[in-house]
Every structure is written in C-alpha cells, then in structure tokens.
Chains A and B, each alone.
Chain A
Amino acid sequence: MSGNLYEVISAVGEMIIGNRQKLTDLDAAIGDGDHGINMARGFEAVKAKLQGMEMESDIGKVLKIVGMTLISSVGGAAGPLYGTAFLRAAAPSQGKTELDTQTIGLMLEAAIAGIKERGKATTGEKTMLDALVPAYEAFQDGANTGKTVTACLELAYEAAQQGVEFTKTIIATKGRASYLGERSRGHQDPGATSSYIMLKALVEYLRR
C-alpha cells in the first residue's frame, strides 16, 4: 500500500466522525448509546494530534500515536481495545513507509491478538472481533493466492460486512450489551460496525 499516510488516517477518521450518529444509535439499542460519540471524540483527537505531522512517513510511528491518542480520548471500552490494536499493529510496521500484504497480515494478526487479550474475548461474543477476525482470514486467503493489497482489503471489507450481519444473529457475552442477554439478539454490534467502517474507509481511499 502506498498513498499518503496522513490522508489514509484522515479518511478513516472522517468516515468514523461521519457515522457518529449511526454508531451511537446502534449502541443506544444494546448499550449506553455512546459508541459514536466515543469514536468521533477519539478520531477528532487523532486529527488534532497529527496536525503538523502531515509529512511523517513512518507508518509504525504514526500508528503508535493513533493508538496512544485513542486510549486517552475515546473513554469507553473501545478506547483501550482499539488503542491496543493500533499499538500492536505499529510493531510490524515500525520504520516502514510502504506496506505489502505480508506486513499488513502481520499487523492485523497483532491487532486482533491485542483486542482478544485486552477484552478476554473471542469470536461469537458479538463484538468487534466478529468483524475483524473474518476480515483478517479473508485478507490472508487473498494474500496466499497472490492478490494485490487493494484486492485483499476488498475481500477483508466484504468479510467484515458479513461479520456485522452475523452479529445480529447472536447474543452478547462481553461488554455492556451482555447485561441484556437474549434481548441483545436481533441488533447489530456497534463495535463490529465501527471496525467495518474503518475497513470501508481504507478500501474507498485505495479505490480513489
């Protein structure tokens, strides 16, 4: 993947900020109705933090700043979870200014491991992992058959979309939504949706 790093992060941030209301409505149905507010606050803080760093090309360095900023500004469970994910993804991309499918695969793997560890969660619990894990697997399938970064991310994005749909069919056993038990069924998970939105922003940026 090439393209301007700052622009990529901005595209992801803008798409999250643009979906503030949608994410908040989803969280209002099965949580405390703040996921959109939390995520938008986080990416507004990221925007402010990256001000003046438009020319920075070290991907790991920028992802580390994104992770640290999300940890201190999101406020809800998504803060430590996504924050840890970005920090973990920063390690394989440290010092890199361009990414190939192999490195992105390692970054996704590390990010997911971080979320699982932090949240003590796995797939099937109606969380962001239900979008991210299938997305990672689809990405790897694409990478193993020699597809381009953009093609692999498109596969990941489609798998994340299906993962979001899947979250409607299951009950939450992690996070605030787990207090609702059976009543959480039928609703899509806000965190899975924000993960899908980030992938969507990446794919749309690369298609431009």
Chain B
Amino acid sequence: MVGVVIVSHSQKVAEGIREMALQMSAPEQKIIAAGGMADGGIGTDAFRVSEAIVSADTGDGVAIMVDLGSAVLSTETAFEFLDEELRSKVQIADAPILEGAISAVVEASLGSNLAAVVATAEGARTLNKC
C-alpha cells in the first residue's frame, strides 16, 4: 500500500492532518507526520522528512503532501538522502495539504499505485466546498 507523508512547518498541523486522515484509512496503512523542527519550532527539516519517508514505505512508494515554500525545498533535499531504489518511488503531490492528504489516503487504502494516489490528491485542488 502506498504510504503518505505530511510535511508542514507546524508539528501540530502535520499531526492534526494525520489524525483526520486516519479516520479514512485502512488499518495497516502508513500515514506519517513530519511537521516542525526537532526542537518543536516552526519550520521544516529535511532529515525529519527523509526519516518519515523511510517509515512510510512498505514497498509501494510514498506520496508526500506539503504546505508552503520551504516544505517543498526540504522534501526535495530529503530525496537526496534516500537510497536510489526508494528515491524512484516517492512523489510530491501539488495539492492543498489537508484535502490532498485525505484524498491520497482514501485512494491508497483502495490499493491504488503511486501515480493514481498522487493524481487523486492533486484532484483535490478543484474540490468545491459550497
């Protein structure tokens, strides 16, 4: 099953989104929060992201949901720390972090592949709310 990593500047945001996504998930599904800095401060840390990716992978790859700016830069930096095999099956979804994470988790829980999970997450960009 494709894993999902949530990268936010805020630990609380990442964990809160994870909590909401878990409600929609399958029991054995990997959803990992990588929010904030090691000292709890606001920011992103490429090493925390790479560790999260490693623990989210069960062999089918990992879709990564990001918030703003440096979340993308840190995630792409994190890719450099992965072994080549894992690096070939990780992808950032260009999607709103909360809606994207929930869409990704639902798609992954159906057993879809990484490309499908990322595409569904990116589809969340055009979700109408009212």
Q: Which residues of A contact B (CB under 8 A)?
A: 34, 38, 41, 71-81, 83-84, 118-119, 175-176
Q: Which residues of B contact A (CB under 8 A)?
A: 9, 37-38, 41-48, 68-70, 73-74, 76-77
Q: Which of B45, B48, B68, B74 has the most CB of A within 10 A?
A: B74
When the two chains form their complex, are residues A80 and B74 in contact, meaning their CB atoms are under 8 A apart?
A: yes
A205 to chain B, nearest CB (A): 29
Task: Show 11 residue pairs from A and B whose CB-CB distance is below 8 angstroms, ordered by the A residue.
Answer: A38-B43, A72-B46, A73-B38, A76-B43, A78-B70, A80-B46, A80-B73, A80-B77, A83-B77, A84-B77, A119-B73
When the two chains form their complex, are residues A118 and B76 in contact, meaning their CB atoms are under 8 A apart?
A: yes
A21 to chain B, nearest CB (A): 18
- The answer, among A73, A77, A84, for a CB contact under 8 Å with B70, is A77
Chain B interface SS verdict (over half): loop
Chain A residues with CB below 8 A from B74, complex form: 71, 79-80
Please name the 8 residue pairs, one residue from A and one from B, whose CB atoms are nearest each other, closest first: A75-B43, A77-B70, A80-B73, A80-B77, A72-B47, A71-B46, A80-B74, A76-B70
Chain B residues with CB below 8 A from A38, complex form: 43
Chain B residues with CB below 8 A from A119, complex form: 73
When the two chains form their complex, are residues B70 and A71 in contact, meaning their CB atoms are under 8 A apart?
A: no
Task: For A76, give the chain B residue with the smallest CB separation.
Answer: B70
With A75-B41, A76-B44 already in contact, 12 other A-B pairs whose C-beta atoms are closer than 8 Å:
A72-B38, A73-B38, A74-B43, A75-B9, A75-B43, A75-B45, A76-B70, A79-B44, A79-B46, A79-B70, A80-B46, A119-B73
Docked complex Cα distance between A127 and B45 (Å): 21
When the two chains form their complex, are residues A118 and B73 in contact, meaning their CB atoms are under 8 A apart?
A: yes
Chain B residues with CB below 8 A from A41, complex form: 41
Docked complex Cα distance between A176 and B9 (Å): 13
Chain A residues with CB below 8 A from B47, complex form: 71-72
- The answer, among B42, B69, B76, for a CB contact under 8 Å with A175, is B69
On whether A75 and B76 interact (CB within 8 A), knowing A175-B69, A176-B68, the answer reads no
Docked complex Cα distance between A83 and B77 (Å): 9
When the two chains form their complex, are residues B46 and A83 in contact, meaning their CB atoms are under 8 A apart?
A: yes
When the two chains form their complex, are residues B43 and A71 in contact, meaning their CB atoms are under 8 A apart?
A: no
Docked complex Cα distance between A118 and B73 (Å): 6
Docked complex Cα distance between A28 and B77 (Å): 26
